[in-house]
Structure 1
Amino acid sequence: MSSRASRKEQIRVARELRARQQRRRRTRLVTAVAVGVLLAAGLTGYAVYAAQRVGDDFAVPASATSDRAGLRVGDGPVTVEIYLDFLCPACRAFEAEAGTTIERLVDEGRITLVYHPVAILDRYSSNAYSSRSAAGAGCAADAGKLAGYVTALYADQPAEGGPGHSDERIADLAAGAGIPREPFAQCLREGRYADWVTQVTHAMGEQRVTGTPTVVVDGERLARPSAASLTAAVEAV
């Protein structure tokens, strides 16, 4: 074989070797991507599965809504949902301004009120007041005195940035709202509805609710919650 032919053969062999190497690299890349996609899908599926498992394992107040993310008061034709945190100053202001109107609409049978007691302000107290007071709402609902509990806690709201009320103080406020103290205190101390509050707060995010108070009337959020805007929205429905 001539030297020229030998060089051509060497070039051909080298080209074939490079082509095989490139094919192997592409195969490895495609395989790695596929494995990554499957792993991500598997992790997502497991996260959904785990969330569903957690959702089956917590105590729920008797008056909870069918999705277990709220507490029903009344049985009127228009649904009014209120997302509230018991440490939220704006929630306190809304309760002071609109509480009487809300109570009237419930008593007149015009609305079904759904409270969503959430815990988004725990970082502003040294003892997780938002979570504990929200769990207490479930205890108050079991006693049939949720509206009175809401009014009582906002009337004596602790300041942000310090210690929230102790369980004993929350129980005292509940008793002042006509709730039998000892059953309520036991429910609160044992954290009966602590996991439920976590679920309600998680559901708030799923509904893209980002702050409190948020008021929703028949599926429509009020831009500026007030007694007047709430009444107008109910009448419009």
Structure 2
Amino acid sequence: MAAAQRTAGAGKGALGRRRGPSAALIAAIVVVVLFAGAVGFGVWYAQRPASGGPVPTGTTAAGVTVGNPSAPHTVDAYLDFLCPICRAYEQQSGATLDQLISTGQAKVVYHPIAILDRLSSTQYSSRAAAASGCAADAGVFPQFVKLLYANQPPENSAGLPDAQLTALAQQAGAPGSVGQCIAGGTYRGWAAGVTDTASKAGVNGTPTVLVDGQRIGLTDAALQAATK
């Protein structure tokens, strides 16, 4: 298993309508995942691409904020799009995150980081994180994140090709020009910067979830309790 891991929103509707992985399943692999995440950051840091360059519209060098900026709570979600545990967290808590955003109870700051490039022959983590910047530029970041996890490739594979990332971005609502942004790696530097910022903040694995600056457990109950 690779690094600890998280996700962006999930399907709409009442909480509990969709069954995801159990909290016990996620908790059972936390120790292994955290160790793998630390290794992942170490490898990434030694081989990291240059950060900097253009920043997607509506984002910062730290990530992408979704929801009311004045919401009483802030959820920080650190995720890698190749990370299977991030996908599991999406299935478990994505609907809760969606509800927190839609009701104005919390804003969610997504930090798409790339620490699993070693588990892809095409640096998929970096490519997908950069592509999410293109989606943010087009105003469809949350929808794109859902589609990335719904179509997540396995670890130790080539990952999704740029053409498929483009198709998913267009499915999320981005214009056809998003293909140039993705294929050209326009936001690779931004993605590297988000990853570097996370590392300096002490985040060493994905998913890592904080509420109002405090790290919480990777359970839906923990997320709901911290955002009451």
TM-score (norm 2): 0.75
1:199-225 superposed Cα distances (whole Å, 9 cap, x missing partner): 111111101111000001000001x22
Q: 1:210 aligns with which of 204, 213, 218?
A: 204
- Does 1 or 2 have the higher relative contact order (CA < 8 Å, sep 6+)? 2
CA distance in 2, matches of 1:169, 1:157: 11
Name the residue aligned to 2:122.
Answer: 127
1:17-75 superposed Cα distances (whole Å, 9 cap, x missing partner): xxxxxxxxxxxxxxxxxxxxxxxxxxxxxxxxxxxxx76x510012223xx11111111
Question: What amino acid is the match of 1:228?
Answer: A
Q: Helix, strand or coil: the match of 2:167?
A: helix
CA distance in 1, matches of 2:171, 2:211: 30
* Unpaired runs of at least 5, structure 2: 1-49
Name the residue aligned to 1:69.
Answer: 62
- What are the equivalent positions in structure 2 for 1:1-237 lying under 5 Å apart? 57-65=52-60, 68-75=61-68, 76-180=71-175, 182-222=176-216, 224-235=217-228
Q: CA deviation at 1:178?
A: 2.2
Question: What amino acid is the match of 2:223?
Answer: L
* Unpaired runs of at least 5, structure 1: 1-53
CA distance in 1, matches of 2:59, 2:132: 11
Q: Which of the pair has more CA radius of gyration? A: 1
CA distance in 1, matches of 2:222, 2:99: 15
Name the residue aligned to 1:15.
Answer: none
CA distance in 1, matches of 2:221, 2:205: 20
1:99-125 superposed Cα distances (whole Å, 9 cap, x missing partner): 111111101111111000000000000
Question: What amino acid is the match of 1:73?
Answer: V
CA distance in 2, matches of 1:144, 1:109: 19
Q: CA deviation at 1:175?
A: 1.8
- RMSD after superposition: 1.3
CA distance in 2, matches of 1:78, 1:149: 24
Q: CA deviation at 1:174?
A: 1.6
Q: CA deviation at 1:226?
A: 2.4
CA distance in 2, matches of 1:64, 1:190: 19
Q: CA deviation at 1:128?
A: 0.6
CA distance in 2, matches of 1:58, 1:77: 32
Following TM superposition, the consecutive aligned residue runs of length 4 or more in structure 1 with deviations greater than 4 angstroms are none
The percentage of aligned residue pairs carrying the same residue is 47
TM-score (norm 1): 0.72
